[in-house]
Amino acid sequence: MKRLVLWIILVGCVGWNPVAWAGPDEEAIEQTIKNVVKATATFSETRDRQAVLKLYANDYDGVQDGEAETRDAIEKWLADYEAELKQGSSLRFIGSVSNFKIQVGGPTAWARYDYVFQAIRNGELEGQDAGKCTTLLRKESSAWLIFHEHCSKTRLNPDTR
């Protein structure tokens, strides 16, 4: 009987691990990040700045490869990219994110994941970045918004080359 009770407690503790059971918040957080990637990748066709900006909190600040970034900086980048597109540029971006690890603590959450972004011009690969991000999100009304993000390119370990 004691073994049965201990077994039930052990299974209950392991089975109740919140990371093992992705709920609606975790799914919404992953979708928010994927929507940023999609909105950026389709910007050359849609020119919809709000599709990107609506996913960031007004007080967003972040770090991209050691460079500080704000929501205003994202908006300026989109405006500059749009101006380049209007001049006939064929520059396009492709991105993917994977290996999500998400934790939710009330109205705040964080997600760690891998990313790959490619710049394509005239059908040719112009550049590629791959790395890891940690993104902090806050639930405002019913939406998860990014309020901080830190992304860094990964570099090969010299011993593994």
103-157 pLDDT, tens digit per residue, is 999 999 999 999 999 999 999 999 999 999 999 999 999 999 999 999 999 876 6
Inform me whether the pLDDT recorded for 16 exceeds 60.
no
CATH 3.30.565.10 fits 23-152, yes or no: no
What are the residue ranges spanned by the domains of the chain?
23-152
How would you class 19 by CB atoms within 10 Å of its CB: exposed for 0-12, middle for 13-18, buried for 19 or more?
exposed
* Three-class DSSP labels, 148-159: EEEEEECCCCHH
- Cβ contact 36:146 at 8 Å: yes
Q: What is the pTM of this model?
A: 0.81
- φ, ψ of residue 30 in degrees (nearest 5): -60, -40
pLDDT of residue 158: 57
d(CA 153, CA 67): 12
Encoded tokens for 86: 């209007």
